[in-house]
Structure 1
């Protein structure tokens, strides 16, 4: 049994992680702003992570073997965490994102075309940090999501008084209505309704992971291994947007329709005009056995179809709404 603190953990694979840590018998504490309570038997501390004094007061004299940070989006948040948890935990695991490799948001070392990017492509040890940017502004933070994650990794790598690891998460799917980003629902709605799906002329592939596998990997990264530094997290197999839509259309029994957008313009989620895949070789070397996307994708699509059909069957016809997350590229 380990003493584990989860910051966030109130939805999707973070919520599942909390449940699996509890089931594994760990002594668990969840820190969030109080909008969602953790399961019974899990200690709940209410604090805003950006209010350092309140966070430290809530933590009191508690110490942990591991902290899992699900909701760190900026260097400011990372710096507060480094101070609040310094000397309080021996290990700190931050959930990061595939978006740190987005070439349009930073000058990155070149990677051969078509090569899944390794972790060293973005090395947080040398990444420049700018604490004076408007990270407290939600609009700015959302528009600079990739850079916020890169700088957060950099701060915790250099300033944390603990062993630090970041898990760079691929695009997460599965869970039907639990998948709050609405990206798979975006395709289900359009295929079922016969609406055109916007894609790039030469859509490039990316990588994905099921939300249950993501929770399992975070449990493993937190409790079963002592690696440090960044780690890419994605199932085996590359899929492009047309392959994904074809899989949806097959289960829906419909023919998909497409509309091509010029290069550089925003298309539907998961349509990329650049190669957008990570290498999971490091995690495999450390002992994590990834699934293949083709093994779980049909089940994820079936869940999304069921979630879409349920409200349609019980409500008058209405134009569907798609979340803002579903209209563009969003990190998993």
Structure 2
């Protein structure tokens, strides 16, 4: 049994992670702003992670074996957490994103076209941290989400104070109404209604992960392994937007209606004009076993079909 702190953990795969930690017999403390009631068997601390004094006060003298940070988006937030949790935990795991590899948001090392990128393409030990950027401005943060995640990873890696690992998640699907981004629901609704789907002329593949599998991987990263540095989290098998739509079409009995997006224009979610995929080899080498996207996607689509339209939009 370990003492584990989860920052966030109030919805979707974070909530499921907390449930699985408790089921595995760990002593779990959840820190959030108090908008969601705590789960049974979980210690709940109410604090704004952006308020260093309030976070320190809420923690009191508590120490942990592991901290899992579900909601770190900027180096400013990472700097506060690094100061507050230094000396309080031996291990810190941050949930990150496939978007750190998006070449549209940063100058990254060249990789051959079609390559599923390994973790070292974005090395947090070498990434520049710029604390003087307007990270507290919501509009700036929304426009620089990927860079915020890159720099948060970099700060934790470079500051030290505990063993640090990051889990770079693929696009997360599954869970019906729990899938709060609404991206799968977007396709289910439009295909069901016969509405057009905007796609790139040559839409290229990406990778996905089921929300339950991501919760499993975070549980594994927190309790079953001691790796440090980034690890990619994606189910096996690449999928482009047309292949995704085909799975939905098979469930709805309606064929997708496509509209080709002009160059530079916005297309539907998961339609990419660049190869946007990660390699999960490191996680496999460390001992984690992934499912195949095509094994769980039909059930995820079925769940999305059961969501009332008012909830799906």
TM-score of the superposed pair, with normalisation by structure 2: 0.99
Shift, 1:16, TM fit? 0.2
The one-character-per-residue Cα deviations of 1:287-312 (angstroms, maximum 9, x if unpaired) are: 00000001000000000011146x6x
Residue pairs, 1:262-273, within 5 angstroms: 262-273=262-273
Report if the CA contact (8 A) 1:264-1:273 is conserved: no
Q: Does 1:70 align with 2:77?
A: no
Residue pairs, 1:1-332, within 5 angstroms: 1-308=1-308, 322=313
The structure-2 alpha-carbon separation of the partners of 1:321 and 1:282, relative to structure 1 and needing over 3 Å to count, comes to: closer
Report if the CA contact (8 A) 1:74-1:151 is conserved: yes
The one-character-per-residue Cα deviations of 1:114-137 (angstroms, maximum 9, x if unpaired) are: 010000000000111111111111
Distance 1:237 1:258 in 2: 23
Report if the CA contact (8 A) 2:185-2:312 is conserved: no
Distance 2:312 2:124 in 1: 38
Distance 1:299 1:171 in 2: 16
Report if the CA contact (8 A) 2:64-2:89 is conserved: yes
The structure-2 alpha-carbon separation of the partners of 1:20 and 1:321, relative to structure 1 and needing over 3 Å to count, comes to: closer
What SS does the aligned partner of 1:45 have?
strand
Distance 2:175 2:32 in 1: 23
Q: Which range moved further: 29-38 or 163-172?
A: 29-38
Number of positions where the alignment pairs a residue of Structure 1 with one of Structure 2: 313
**RMSD over aligned Cα atoms:** 1.0
Distance 2:162 2:136 in 1: 25
Report if the CA contact (8 A) 2:101-2:122 is conserved: yes
Structure 2 residue runs without a partner (length 5+):
none
Distance 1:63 1:285 in 2: 31
